[in-house]
Each structure stands twice: as structure tokens, then as C-alpha cells.
Structure 1
Amino acid sequence: MYCKQSTDLIQTLKNHCKSISHLHQIHAQIITRGLISLHHSSTSHLLTLFLHTFNSLPPPPHPVSPHYPLSIFNLITNPTTFSFNTIIRSHTLLSFPQTALFLFVKMRRRCTPVDTHTFPFVFKACAQLKELSVVRMIQSLCFKLGFMKDVFVCNNLVVGYCNCGWIDDAYKVFDESAERDVVSYNVIIDGFVKSGEIERARQVFDEMPVGVRDGVTWGTMIAGCARMKCYDECLSLYDEMIGLGVRYDNVCLVSVLSVCGRMGKLEKGKQVHEHIVCSGIKIDSFLCTALVDFYAKCGCIETARGIFEANNEKNMFTWNAMLVGLAMHGYGESLLTYFDKMVKNGVKPDGVTFLSVFMGCSHTGLVNEARRLFDEMESAYGVCKERKHYGCMADLLARAGLIKEAMDMIASMPMSGDVYVWGGLLGGCRLHGNVEVAEKAAERIMEISPEDGGVYSTMVDVYANAKRWDDLTKMRRLRDARRVKKNAGCSLIQLEGVTHEFVAGDDLHPNCDEIYLVLNGIGQHQFEMQL
């Protein structure tokens, strides 16, 4: 009878258990039928399978306590290697690396044999813990027991070193690996990307056989190039990936759209969007956020609004992208309307949300609305005020001519003002000709960031507008004496699909005459006719 009940529950676990809730129901059946109170040979197998099922289920919306699987494990009288591997993995999945390592120590003390499945779980726990000494200790044990030839062990050891910030040690393990698979390449490339060594990541990528690369490989490199501002290389990799017909995920597309937005490549971004539509790729919340951000940065705010409205999967980042876009284009009233919609839809705003709101209010002079939301940030929305929020408010108030109110707000700050706070005040003083307060703000900026060239240029404008030529001359001499360089202006222009960057002081581009004509609305045909 016992065997029949146990067999039925095992089949239920294997074939029908789909959630943690269902697992709890089966657990209740195990208890009520007395299956774990009997000393039977099938008990350990049943409980181990129970833990294995727990690991394979999708995570619930609420956190799961590690005490639950541990309480099941403690009922196993003679845990096997598989039992220990399963419980160690449980705690790794639940992000309790200390307990996972404690269980590994317990496994060794009981002289339970380890296998090739034990160490990957242990190294994952080490990666979460980010404790280099533990990683080295487990690696020494792997050498001693002869497991360093296993590709899964080496891959997880590489991740452990990468998470600890020791990328050279990670590469040494990768380089000395007897066997490599696509995961081996992906983890070391990801490690180089996260450590900012994009050249070394590209070197490994180029050495990797083309047939071995998968969507994760391409996506990691593309995202890495976007992160390190290697924009042309990012788009080149994307085009190559599309040409090879590689299957990729939405994260890759998000990176490409982000680069298109930063470079102002409207046509390229439109091609990516068209490819998304033609390929039937589902526009989830992350892809929707990227599209809204891209079109807003390229000046197509109505297109961004249309994409936002058409998508039902919106998270906080999607709402923030829409709000930032409206703020950039000076749609202050629309921005406040969307902010109200965001709150009514149950999406909790964060610091970025309020930054965009204050920026939009500043551009459209909505002082009272900004004041109200600034006062309600902590009390009504639970968002802490940071320096950047005070900086936006200082800029808003100063732009509106409320210099004294801006000064009082800065004086009441719970922290000292930074360059952005005093810079916001200084900008308003320049706009309204308040030389006295401008001098105080400039003095504070020079104390905080003496190498900032913008403050000297701003004060030159302030003195010039006030016709205080002696002070203007002194400011220029002070700038020259401190050898402060003014930040060079930068412009971008697209010509025949190529984006050219111009920085003030650069030598002229070989195609400067042609580009000059494009800037002035004269096409190549008219240029040739004039010749």
C-alpha cells in the first residue's frame, strides 16, 4: 500500500506539478498519508524528487523562504549525492549562497561523494557571494579531485572569478580549459564586457568560431559596444548578425535602438523598427521603452507617443521614457497629464520620474505644479529627494526669476549643494542679470569643481550683459591662469548614411565643403550646377 501511494505521488510530481502552490498540496498529501514518518526505502527518493521538482518550478511572485526546502532535506535520513546537489542548487536559486556553501561543507564532512554536478552549483554560490578566497579554495579542491577537466565546472569557475572582479584569473581558467563550448565563450566575453575591457571581449569574439556563436554571444557584444560608446562597431555587429540570420533576443534590439537614439540615426532606427514589425517580434515592455526613447531622442515625439499608447505592457521604465521625451520637447502640460495617468495605473514613480517632471515644468514655466510635486515627493509617493532633484528645482525657480526662493531652498537642503545645484542657480542668474547671486554661485562651483570651464564662460556672459568689463577681464585672466579649458562644442551630421562628428577646434573634414552645403540646404546637384 505504501509503495502504491508513494509511486502515485512520484508520478504526480513528475507529470502534473506546475507551481509552488501545487507542490504545497502534494506536500500536504505526503504528511497526511504518513509517508515521511515511515522508515521505508522509497522515502528518501520521494523527498529528493520533491526538492528537485521545487527547483524546476517557475519562481512565485513573492519570495520563498529557504527554510522550506531545507526542512524537507532534513527529513532525509541518508542523503545521497543527488540529494545534496539538489538542496545546494535550491539555495543558489533562492540567492542564499552562505547556506549553499554550508551544505557543501556538511556534504564533505559526511564523506558523501561529489560529482561533476556538485561544483557548478557551488561555484554559482561563490559567484553570488563574491568572495575570492572561497572561489580559490573550491578551485583547489576541484584540482585535487580531478574535476577541472569538466567544461561545466570551468564555466562556472570563470563566472565566479568574473563576479569577484578578477577577470585575468577568469581568462586564465578559460584559456587553459581542455574543452570549450558556446557557454565558455559567452561567460568570458560577458566578463570582459562588464569589466569595461571591450577590446579583449572583441578579441575573444573574433577568435570564436562563427558557427559556435549564438544569439547570446552577439547580444553580449552588441550590448557591450553600446555600453562602452563604440556606437559604429555596435551597429556594424548588428548588421552582420542580421546578415547571418542569427536568432537573437529583445535585449540586443534594445541596445541597438539605444545607440540609434544617442547618435540621432533616425533612418537606421526606423529600419530596426521595421524589421521588428516584419519579423513578428513581440514588443514587450523593454522593447517598447527602447522604441519610445529612440523616437523621442530623434525628435519624433508623436511617433513615440503612438507606440507608447498602442502597447499594453508598460512598466515604470516605459512610463519614464515617455515622460522624459515629453520633457525634452517642452510638453509640460502633457507631461503632467501622463504623470497622473501613471499614478492612476498603479505604477509607482521613482527618482527619474520626478526629474523628468521637474525638467518639463522648468521648460514650460509650470512653477506651482513643480512646487506641489516637489513637496509631495516623500510624503505622498515615498521617493527620497536627492541632489539632482534640488538641482532641477533650483534651475526651475531661477529660470522663473525666483532667485531668493531658489537660494532659500538650497540653504534648507539636508546635504551640501553640488555643481548641478549651484549651476542651476547660476543659469537663472545669467538669464535675469542677478550679478551678486551669480558670483556666489560661481564661487561655490569653483570650490567644488575648479576644472569646470563652463562656469567661467557663464560669468563672462553675466559680466558682459551687466557691462562690467573690468570684472569680465579678471574672469578671463583667472580662467587662463588656472589653465581651465572650455568644454568644446560638438555637432553631428549624417551624410550619405555616415555620421560625422565635429568638435570645435578640429581640423576640417575632407568633405567639409559638401557638408557645409548640406547644412545650408544646398544639395549636391545644385552645388555641381554652381560649379
Structure 2
Amino acid sequence: MLISSSSLITPQNYHSVITKLIKQCKTISQLYQLHAYTITNTPLSFHSSPTLLTKFLYTLTTKSESESPTSLLHYAKSVFNSIQNPSTFCYNTIIRVHTLLSFPVPALHLFTQMRRLSVPLDSHSFPFTLKACAQLGGAFLARCLHCQVLKVGFLSDLYVMNSLIHGYMVSDFSNDAYRVFDESSQRDVVSYNVLIDGFVKAGDVVKARELFDLMPVRDSVSWNTIIAGCAKGGFCEKAIELFDLMVDLEIRPDNVALVSTLSACAQLGELEKGKKIHDYIERNAMKVDTFLSTGLVDFYAKCGCIDIALKIFDSSSDKNLLTWNAMLGGLAMHGYGELLLEYFSRMIEAGVKPDGISILGVLVGCSHKGLVDDARKLFDEMESVYGVLREPKHYGCMVDLLGRAGLIKEAMEMIKDMPRGGDMSVWSGLLGGCRIHGDVEIAEKAAMHLMELKPDDGGVYSILANVYANAERWEDVVNIRRSLSSNRVVTKIAGFSLIQLNGVVHEFIAGDSLHSESDKINLVLNGIREHQMENRFFQEISYCPNNHFDRRTGLTAIRVPISLPTDHTSQRATNPLARMGSITKENEEFQSFPSETCRVALRGRIRRLLLSAEGRSRFVSRFPTPISCNSIIFEKKENAFVAGDGLHQHPMNA
């Protein structure tokens, strides 16, 4: 087809016909064929038209998935070397090809060659050369090019300036980048976006937000960058706030903004907010592509709604590796080991090749369910069958599984067989297994390795003290406690809880009295303690978290993570409603407690709740000051109860 079309080429239509043929080329072979034919059978050549040469070389780079970049680069250089006295345009084109194919060093050599041969520079000579510097991460090279830009007077060019800012930001020279930005009199939305993206990737979300607020005009990239940056940087409330602002300004969010906000909701356990985003997607008939469906599956799985996640996953027609990984991770988190293995088999049957994350998800699920044989089989087949290299995290999961199953010696042998020795996760898993099964000797070895790897981790000392306590080696327990108190290097991170109430996030730390309503909180906690004592509830101290009373001060659906595992025994004793159902999360695994009459969906890890009567109009008139109340979801309705309150429509049944 290409040859028959090219037979119509004349000097008059040469440019238009060749341009059309270049666009029609779908493979590298067709491009090669076109190039050869124009050299031997047409009155003119590519090389006489810089525009056609650029289009040809650029199209060559877009077909890089069908041929190795090295082969493509060799061909492109052959074309370039056949040109006598290449112009600035030709040099710019070949530098661009090198950069797009990720060959930064030859690209810089070509730029140096331009300067040596006195080839004039223009504004297009710098952007891709600066991108090559960014690929190398060399701030010194960026500064050298900055001098060249100043020398030839192209800093006023927006394209050059934005490339220079990007080069500095990628090289972790944010101050230099901001100085270039600040000293420029001409800025566009790209200038702001490049700087915001750099600050976000550097972890300085606060500075990125300041720049975002200063922007005179914002595009979708601006919103996506700041929302994604807040979500990844741990500023999840800010990410949700920005998304709400985006919707209020009637700016239609794209899939990147939606997925980033869903990720923020998942981190906070904001199920209701995430559901509203899902409703927004359906209400506006937005296309749910693979990227968005993966985000929805991940969100619902992390918020405890595995049934909805499965429904979305099964209804998705186009699933990629990320979608499968999100579903496998969700099933592992919820402890559906057998179903997880079934979905992994379906993934293989669908022709999707698993990666390290896929294997890790299955191993985690097997660990939670104690499927030792299935985990062993998969671990043995990782490299031979699936071509996935074993990483420390895979070894750590297997050691944790063997430790839980009581196969401590086998776990120890696996650590010895590791190519580079055990890391924190591996030895921590072994120490946890020793604590469960009371293997003091190996626990001491694991603790010794952990102390060498991270001397300031107080948690290791606490677990080892528990191991000694279970073995009734009280002198060793005392020695551990003394060394822990005398060693100022060792720190123990305090557990904390968060609760979002009426749009405000409250943070609590064990023993904290800084909260404005700490007196009322302590009053409720004392009431719970009395209730536990009345029911003769006692707990094993060695397994009692420091703030175990933060589990159920109020019986309200709370879906936000905390830093300590759930204590089911304490929850049962604290909860006076024996038939209450709940879903909790412990050590990244959800636990279900069914109920026939009602369900409190405590998705994420459970947090304490002190509901104020402010905002509830029926209580304000009766109680002039804020008081504490409990709230449950019963038959899809929220019902609030206050001690001594008789206002509920079914007070006796309640």
C-alpha cells in the first residue's frame, strides 16, 4: 500500500504525501520501508526537509515498544549522520530522540558537539538537553546549561524556563528552581505545575499548597497534582477538602483526581465520603476505565466493603495487573484465603502475569488463614514458574506464616538461606511467632538482630519482655524493663487514635489531657471501666494495649485507622449490646462479628467516639451544655442514646 501510494509522489506534492505516509505507518518495518523507498525512488529525500525528518524520527521513537531502544537509536543516528552540515533544527531533533529513548549522555555529547562546531542555538536547543540533565539527576549539569541559557538570552522563553525549573527540581535543588521561578516576570500555568509537582515529589506538600493557592489560573494538571500530592503525603483531609472545592467550583474532576481522592478516603476510612464520590461518578455518567475501577476496588476493600469491591471487580471488562493486585490485596486483608487462591488462579488463566506484589498478596492471605502448604508451593514456584524474583518482603511473609503455624525452626532455616540475610520485617515476623509459641531461645536471637538493625526501637524490648513473662522468667523481664528505662536512645512511639466528628478531626494519645473536652472523655471512660468491673471483666496484661479503652466509647460507625491492634475481648466487655455486630481490622486483617438485629460497620481500625449533643437539635433544648451519647446504625437509621434519655421512640426495647 505504501509503495503504490508513493508512486504518485511529485516535487509539487512531495511534502504532503510523505507526511501522510508517515502517519499511516503502524510498525517500524513500514517506516523503514518508506525511508528506503524515498531514498531510491523519489526525486527528493527526507534529508532535504527538516520538518519531514523531524516527523520521521519522532514517529520512530513512538514505535519503541516493538523494537529495542538501542536498535532504534542506531537507526536514527545513521539517518542523522547521513546529513551533510546538519542544521540547528536537525541537532535539536536528534537530541530529542536520544532523550525520548532515555539516552541522556549521548544527548549531552551532541549538545557539546553543537557548541564545538559553532552551530547556532535556539530556544528549542535547551528543553530536551535540560531533560537529559534531569534524567541524570545532575544539578551541576543543570547549572552549566543555566549559564548557557543566560549567555544566549533565552531565559525569557517560557518553554526554556519551565525546563530549567524541572531540571533543578528533579535534581533536588528546589531552592534554585524556586529562584528561577521567582525572578521570572513571565509565568504560565505550566510554570506553577512544574514547581508544584517538584515540591510534591520532594514531600513538601505545604509549600506546594501555598503555590497552588497563589495560582491565578489552574488547569486539570494543577488540581490532579496537588490532590494526589496531599493524598500520598499523608494530608488526606486536605486532599478531600480540595476535591470538594473542585466540585463546588463546578470543575469536572478527571479520573486522576477521583482515584487520588478515593485513596485519601481509604486512608482515613471515610466510607461515606468515598460512596458519595462513587455516586458522583454514576450520576455524571463518567466512564469507569481500568484506572478508575482499580481505584474503586482498592477503596472499598480497604474500607471493609469486600463484597462491593468484588462486585465492581467482576463487572469490570478490562482488568490489568494493577486491578488484579488491588483485588488480591483486598481478599488477603479480609482473610479470604481460599477465595484469594481461586482469584489468583483466575488471574493466571486470564493470561495476566503476576508480579512481586501479586505474589505478596497471596502469601499474606495464606498467612492470615494458616494455609502453609499453599504458601510453600507458591513460594517455591515464584522464580521457576512465574519468573518473579524473591525479595525480602516475600521472605518476611513466609517467615511470619511459619512462625504463626509454630514452625519456628523452619522459619529460622529460611532466614539462613536468604541471599542477603534478614531485614527488619523478617526478624520481626520470627519474633512474633516466638512470642505466640513461647520459643525463648530463638526469640532472643531474633531480638538481637532487630536491636542491631534498629537500636532505638522500643517495641522489640516490649515483645521480648512478654516472651520472658510467658515463660515466667521474671528476672529477665525486670532486666529488660530497666534497660528500656535507662537507655535514652530507645524510643517507643506512642499509640494514638483519631476521630472525625462534624468535619473536625480529633487526635488522642494515651494519657493525653490536652483535648478541650478531656474531662468529659475521662468521665465516659470511667463509666466504661465500671461497667467492665461489674461484669467481672479481667484482661491479660501482657496482651493489653495501653489505650485499649479507646475501642468503643460510643457505638457509632467509624471507619478510620488507628495505630494499635483491636482488642476483641475488651470490645465485647465494653459493649453492653450482646448481639451487636461489627467489622474490625487487626494487623491489616479484617475480623467479622455477625449480628442478626443490627450492624455497626467499624471499618478501618476502631476509634474512640465521644459524640457531642451539639448539632442534634432535639437534644440542645433539653441539655444546654454538650453531653456524651452513643449512636448505633439500626435498620439503616442512626439512633442516638444518652444516659437517662427517654426521648427515643423505643426506649424500653433499646
On whether the aligned pair clears a TM of 0.5, the verdict is yes
Query: Does residue 1:46 correspond to 2:49, yes or no?
Result: yes
Is this contact kept in 2: 1:266–1:298, CA < 8 A? yes
Name stretches of at least 5 consecutive residues in structure 2 with no aligned partner.
1-5, 525-551, 557-574, 578-629, 632-638, 647-654
Matched residue type, 2:192: Y
**Structure 2: distance between partners of 1:501 and 1:178:** 44
Matched residue type, 1:24: Y
1:164 corresponds to which of 171, 174, 177: 171
Decide which moves more: 185-194 or 437-446: 437-446
**Structure 1: distance between partners of 2:298 and 2:505:** 20
**Structure 2: distance between partners of 1:283 and 1:54:** 35
Tell me the alpha carbon deviations over residues 401-448 of structure 1, each in whole angstroms, 9 at most, x when there is no partner. 112211222222222222221221221222222233223322332232
1:23 corresponds to which of 23, 27, 31: 31
Aligned partner of 1:32 in structure 2 is 40
Aligned partner of 2:642 in structure 1 is 527
**Structure 2: distance between partners of 1:25 and 1:462:** 73
Is this contact kept in 2: 1:377–1:385, CA < 8 A? yes
Aligned partner of 1:143 in structure 2 is 150
Aligned partner of 2:614 in structure 1 is none
Query: Does residue 1:420 correspond to 2:425, yes or no?
Result: yes
Q: Does the C-alpha gap of structure 1 residues 129 and 479 become closer, same or farther in structure 2, counting only changes over 3 Å?
A: closer
1:516 corresponds to which of 553, 575, 585: 553
Tell me the alpha carbon deviations over residues 471-529 of structure 1, each in whole angstroms, 9 at most, x when there is no partner. 32222222222244433333344434544443323226445658933456823742175
Q: Does the C-alpha gap of structure 1 residues 237 and 226 become closer, same or farther in structure 2, counting only changes over 3 Å?
A: same
Q: CA deviation at 1:236?
A: 0.9
Aligned partner of 1:99 in structure 2 is 106
Query: Does residue 1:487 correspond to 2:602, yes or no?
Result: no
3-state secondary structure, aligned to 1:5: coil
Decide which moves more: 328-337 or 510-519: 510-519
Matched residue type, 2:493: N
Is this contact kept in 1: 2:38–2:46, CA < 8 A? no
Q: Does the C-alpha gap of structure 1 residues 89 and 325 become closer, same or farther in structure 2, counting only changes over 3 Å?
A: same
Q: How does 1:130-209 map to 2 (within 5 A)?
A: 130-209=137-216
Q: CA deviation at 1:309?
A: 1.6
Is this contact kept in 2: 1:326–1:360, CA < 8 A? yes
Tell me the alpha carbon deviations over residues 336-370 of structure 1, each in whole angstroms, 9 at most, x when there is no partner. 11112222222222222222111111111110111
Percent identity over the alignment is: 52
1:111 corresponds to which of 109, 118, 128: 118
Matched residue type, 2:513: D
Tell me the alpha carbon deviations over residues 163-215 of structure 1, each in whole angstroms, 9 at most, x when there is no partner. 22111111111111121111111111111111222222122212211xx1111
3-state secondary structure, aligned to 1:502: strand
Q: Does the C-alpha gap of structure 1 residues 418 and 2 become closer, same or farther in structure 2, counting only changes over 3 Å?
A: closer
**Structure 2: distance between partners of 1:105 and 1:69:** 19
Matched residue type, 1:30: T
3-state secondary structure, aligned to 1:117: coil
Matched residue type, 1:417: G
2:324 corresponds to which of 319, 323, 342: 319
Q: Does the C-alpha gap of structure 1 residues 239 and 467 become closer, same or farther in structure 2, counting only changes over 3 Å?
A: same
Query: Does residue 1:59 correspond to 2:77, yes or no?
Result: no
Higher helix share: 1
**Structure 2: distance between partners of 1:397 and 1:358:** 11
Is this contact kept in 2: 1:355–1:389, CA < 8 A? yes
3-state secondary structure, aligned to 1:491: strand
Q: How does 1:369-518 map to 2 (within 5 A)?
A: 369-483=374-488, 484-507=490-513, 509-510=515-516, 513=521, 516-518=553-555
Matched residue type, 1:244: L
Tell me the alpha carbon deviations over residues 146-165 of structure 1, each in whole angstroms, 9 at most, x when there is no partner. 11111111111111111221
Structure with larger RCO (C-alpha < 8 A, sep 6+): 2
**Structure 2: distance between partners of 1:449 and 1:320:** 31
**Structure 1: distance between partners of 2:255 and 2:101:** 26
Is this contact kept in 1: 2:91–2:114, CA < 8 A? yes
RMSD: 2.6
Is this contact kept in 2: 1:44–1:78, CA < 8 A? no
Q: Does the C-alpha gap of structure 1 residues 502 and 49 become closer, same or farther in structure 2, counting only changes over 3 Å?
A: same
**Structure 2: distance between partners of 1:207 and 1:8:** 50
Q: Does the C-alpha gap of structure 1 residues 147 and 508 become closer, same or farther in structure 2, counting only changes over 3 Å?
A: closer
Matched residue type, 1:27: H
Name stretches of at least 5 consecutive residues in structure 1 with no aligned partner.
37-41
Matched residue type, 2:155: M
**Normalization by structure 2: what TM-score?**
0.75
Is this contact kept in 1: 2:430–2:446, CA < 8 A? yes
Is this contact kept in 2: 1:223–1:234, CA < 8 A? yes
Is this contact kept in 2: 1:291–1:307, CA < 8 A? yes
3-state secondary structure, aligned to 1:436: helix
Is this contact kept in 2: 1:19–1:58, CA < 8 A? no
Query: Does residue 1:235 correspond to 2:240, yes or no?
Result: yes
**Structure 1: distance between partners of 2:467 and 2:105:** 60
Is this contact kept in 2: 1:70–1:87, CA < 8 A? yes
3-state secondary structure, aligned to 1:199: helix
Q: How does 1:164-313 map to 2 (within 5 A)?
A: 164-209=171-216, 212-313=217-318
Aligned partner of 2:353 in structure 1 is 348
**Structure 2: distance between partners of 1:267 and 1:13:** 57
Decide which moves more: 154-163 or 191-200: 191-200
Matched residue type, 1:491: S
**Structure 2: distance between partners of 1:430 and 1:172:** 55
Matched residue type, 1:241: M
Query: Does residue 1:80 correspond to 2:80, yes or no?
Result: no
3-state secondary structure, aligned to 2:497: strand
Is this contact kept in 2: 1:43–1:76, CA < 8 A? no
Q: Does the C-alpha gap of structure 1 residues 269 and 3 become closer, same or farther in structure 2, counting only changes over 3 Å?
A: closer
Q: CA deviation at 1:329?
A: 0.6
**Structure 2: distance between partners of 1:105 and 1:422:** 52
Q: Does the C-alpha gap of structure 1 residues 410 and 83 become closer, same or farther in structure 2, counting only changes over 3 Å?
A: closer
Matched residue type, 1:504: A
Q: Does the C-alpha gap of structure 1 residues 517 and 126 become closer, same or farther in structure 2, counting only changes over 3 Å?
A: closer
